[in-house]
Amino acid sequence: MHRRHFLGTLAASGVLPRTALSQQAPDVLTAATHRQQILPAGYPETTLWSFDAAFPGRPLRARQGDRLALDVVNDLPQPTAVHWHGLRLDNAMDGVPYLTQAPIQPGETFTYEFDLPDAGTYWYHSHAQSMEQVERGLYGPLIIDEINPPDVDQDLTLVLDDIRLNQDGTIGEFGNFHDLSHAGRIGNLWLANGQIDPAYPIKRGERIRLRLISAANSRIFTLGLAGLEGWIVALDGMPLADPQELPDQITLAPAQRMDLIVDVTTDDDEAFLITFERDGGYAIAHFPVSGAPSPKRAKPDALPANPDFPIDLQNARAATLLIEGGAMGGMRAASVDGEQLGARDLAQRGLFWALNGTAGRPEDPLLDLKLGESVRIGMANDTAFPHAMHLHGVHFAEVLPDGSLGPLRDTILLNPQETREIAFQAHNPGDWLFHCHMLAHHQAGMGTWIRVSA
């Protein structure tokens, strides 16, 4: 508490003493079982796995330019590791078991410590058995404040999830072949910040920064706002150069984030965040409204840009990624640890998806890039299901059909049979995972990696 206040004051005065900060003792974050009421009152509580006995995990907040130091204590019955999703950080701190670190065994502690060059909306989550561990609750928001944040009346983070719970409050079994080979583990309950349709009071005339984070295992949210009007100002943590008027419906795939700046314009006494489902729209969170009527205000300025690593498309190395497999996909064989296996043998090992003909993380990287090199990767989704492809360690831009570059992202959705191209500069050395963030798909083979050699 005091430390945050202290940082806030010093940062505002522009004399942030960096060395003093990095000598602070690390903060502690404990992963352990935890019980919480998720189902409506009258139903049993749910046993979760969570960070610091909270679901979502304790919000982590720091300021751009800070250094984060955290001792992660594993009090779970399984090994774990923590990934700081979307951060362009030191590779050794990226939290991927057997790629960047050994998993943290039960009873052990691992110290994560890294610089925070970028401001924005990120999240942290377990990257070990993630289909199970994230579903059980091992995730939380990670907010990096701009040195000069935009002027808003409220800054509200909504971590969205869809969890699959039984009526007795238990979390169902994991890894059934249907989840692995179809759309992934889809839940039966929508949650915002761990609650069913929570309420956040707002006033007319207020300007609100809404940070939406999807922690869903596999569900692709189609969302809309009722009673609030505004702009999209950032995607996956990265500011848009020009804020975009908020459309009626926005898509948030697993792991994606969206920062909105909205004005409270409704005359009604409630506003809503709506999830659009096949049979209509449902409130996933609502906002009791008070105060005197007030119109929408002027368009906000763009958020201050994060450090830029320009992409040299002309001289970029070109690569392709073929996504195959899944039910109705017709994948006949794939290589696993160098061995060619037929579909039946793959299924026996719980493998249903392949990237460039390989199921599971291959021994050799998809690409071995030189530091500073630019690359473009054409991705083809030759399956009957959507996939949310996430690259660690860098943000990429989509190469749009007219050859221009779209906004920076760290996770991109490919619909069935869709082809998309991304490009980035390999500015961050290390071994970076590249995988589907439908966590059941990752578990069932959809993961590869990229090496950036210094």
Residue 163, beta-bridge partner list: 189
Which one of residues 82, 225, 436, 450 is an interface residue with Cu ion (CB under 5 A)?
A: 436
Measured CA to CA, the distance from residue 365 to residue 361 in angstroms comes to: 9
Give 85 or 136: the residue with its C-beta nearer to ligand C2O. 85
Stretch that binds Cu ion, among 129-137, 246-254, 289-297, 434-442 (CB under 5 A): 434-442
Binding site partner of 397, from Cu ion, ligand C2O, none, Cβ cut-off 5-8 A by kind: none
- Is residue 414 close enough to count as binding Cu ion by CB under 5 A? no
Query: Using CB under 6 A as the criterion, which residues of the chain lie in contact with ligand C2O when the complex forms?
Result: 83, 85, 125, 127, 255, 390, 392, 433, 435, 437
Sheet holding 46-51, edge to edge: 46-51, 27-36, 67-74, 109-115
Partner from ligand C2O, Cu ion, none contacting 395, C-beta within 5 to 8 A by type: none
- Listed in sequence order, the residues at least 6 apart from 44 whose beta carbon sits closer than 8 Å to its beta carbon are 168, 169
Closest CB to ligand C2O among 220 and 255? 255
What's the CA gap between 283 and 190, in Å, rounded? 9
Long-range contacts: 33-41, Cβ < 8 Å, 24+? 33/75, 33/76, 33/77, 34/137, 36/194, 38/163, 38/165, 38/169, 38/189, 38/191, 38/194, 38/195, 38/196, 39/165, 39/167, 39/169, 39/189, 39/196, 40/196
Site string for Cu ion, 386-405 (x = CB under 5 A): -x------------------
Among residues 289 and 433, whose Cβ is nearest to ligand C2O? 433
Based on CB atoms, which residue is closest to ligand C2O, 126 or 425?
A: 126
| Binding range to Cu ion, per CB under 5 A, among 114-122, 301-309, 394-402, 438-446 | 438-446
Q: Residue 289 binds which entry of Cu ion, ligand C2O, none, with Cβ cut-offs from 5 to 8 Å by kind?
A: none
Closest CB to ligand C2O among residues 128, 264: 128
Structure tokens at 247: 């459309």
**Burial grade of 268 (CB within 10 A; 0-12, 13-18, 19 or more):** exposed
User: What is the chain's length?
Assistant: 454
φ, ψ dihedrals at 29, nearest 5°: -125, 120
Whether residue 397 contacts residue 423, with contact meaning beta carbons closer than 8 Å, is answered with: yes
- Quote the least distance from Cβ 391 to ligand C2O, whole Å: 9
One-letter amino acid for residue 13 of the chain: S
Indicate the residue type of 95: G
Least spacing, CB of residue 420 vs Cu ion, in Å:
14
Pick 387 or 390: Cβ nearer ligand C2O: 390
441 binds, among ligand C2O, Cu ion, none (CB under 5 to 8 A by kind): Cu ion
Q: Which residues, including other chains, have CB under 8 Å from residue 251's CB and lie 6 or more apart? A: 220, 221, 222, 223, 413
CB of 251 to Cu ion, least distance (A): 15
Distance of CA 337 to the CA centre of its chain: 28
Three-class DSSP category at 267: coil
Residue 438 binds which of Cu ion, ligand C2O, none (CB < 5-8 A, kind-dependent): Cu ion
Stretch of 150-158, 196-204, 302-310, 383-391 contacting Cu ion, by CB under 5 A: 383-391
By beta carbon distance, the residue nearest ligand C2O is: 85
Nearer to Cu ion, 137 or 447 (CB): 447
Please state the closest distance from residue 172 (CB atom) to ligand C2O, in A: 22
Size of the site for Cu ion (CB under 5 A): 4
- Evaluated on CA atoms 167, 169, 170, 174, the torsion sign reads positive
Q: Does 435 bind Cu ion (CB under 5 A)?
A: no
Nearest approach in angstroms of CB 85 to ligand C2O is 4
Smaller CB separation from Cu ion, 89 or 436: 436
State the first-to-last Cα distance of the chain, in angstroms, to the nearest integer: 39
Q: Shortest approach of ligand C2O to residue 167 CB, angstroms?
A: 30
Binding string to Cu ion for residues 329 to 368, with x set by CB under 5 A, is what? ----------------------------------------
Determine the Cα angle at 12 with ends 7 and 16, to 5°.
55
Task: Measure the CA–CA gap between 24 and 328, rounded to whole angstroms.
Answer: 54
Residues engaged in binding Cu ion (CB under 5 A): 387, 436, 438, 441
